[in-house]
Amino acid sequence: MKLYGFGQSRSFRPLWALEECGLDYEYIAIALRTDAEVANSAKNPDYLALNVQGKVPTLVDGDLVLTECFAIVNYIARLAPDSGLIPKISTIGYADYDELIFFILAELEQPLWSKGKHAFALPEEHRIPQMMDTAKFEFAKAVNALDHLLGDEEFAIGNKFSMVDLLLAHTFNWAIRFEFDVPEKYAELRNRHYKRPAAIRALAVVE
């Protein structure tokens, strides 16, 4: 199994999941915003043959190629069901799990990537500086909604670390690095989960 990634971008999520699950993998660092002639460039034709968008992550497992982060982390979790990253819960519990997973993707993460695109990812002529204020407004709304979706327990679902906790920790890490206003309790959530042995091992891979 090969995981192509870059630093603490979205590709850190499947890397962390692989470490949580104890699966064998090869990590291949991809260089973003570099010339196509660079061997490990995201613009290199060999990489574009795997991921036509030239983004990370990309997971290759035999003939299977996945390029969407959430599909990758769910695939990894299903390969190791005893990891608990996808918890064994009731149908109603799975509905709560799905709601939080999709909320992180659609609402909590969205303004962070909007800032990233308009700060450095998009060509300069397509960047809109005013988007930064909009992103902060949207992130604050998402955090308020999250307050109503999460309880006060240590973990998001049940009494065990799951993919929801991993995704929340990484997303708030992203928010902190992008200098968004992150409430103390979510900064503490990030800090608590980033102390897990699997997270520490994953960080050692990319640092």
Residues 26, 122 share a domain: no
Residues 168, 140 share a domain: yes
Domain count, the chain: 2
| Angle between helices 163-177 and 12-21 in degrees, nearest 10 | 140
Residues 174, 101 share a domain: yes
Residues 110, 28 share a domain: no
Alpha-carbon distances of 51 from 37, 86, 198, rounded to whole Å:
17, 26, 27
Residues 162, 118 share a domain: yes
Evaluate whether 26 touches 1 at the Cβ level (below 8 Å). Answer: yes
Q: Which residues contact 40 (CB under 8 A, 6 or more apart)?
A: 28, 29, 30, 31, 47
Residues 149, 53 share a domain: no
Low-confidence ranges of the chain (pLDDT < 50): none
205 part of a folded domain: no
Q: CA-to-CA distance for 117 and 120, rounded, in angstroms?
A: 6
* pLDDT tens string 123-171: 999 999 999 999 999 999 999 999 999 988 899 998 899 999 999 999 9
The pTM for the full model equals: 0.95
The whole-number pLDDT of residue 37 equals 85
Residues 103, 79 share a domain: no
Residues 77, 101 share a domain: no
CATH of residue 19's domain is 3.40.30.10
The whole-number pLDDT of residue 39 equals 86
CATH of residue 186's domain is 1.20.1050.10
Residues 110, 176 share a domain: yes
Domain of residue 78, residue span:
2-83
The whole-number pLDDT of residue 151 equals 85
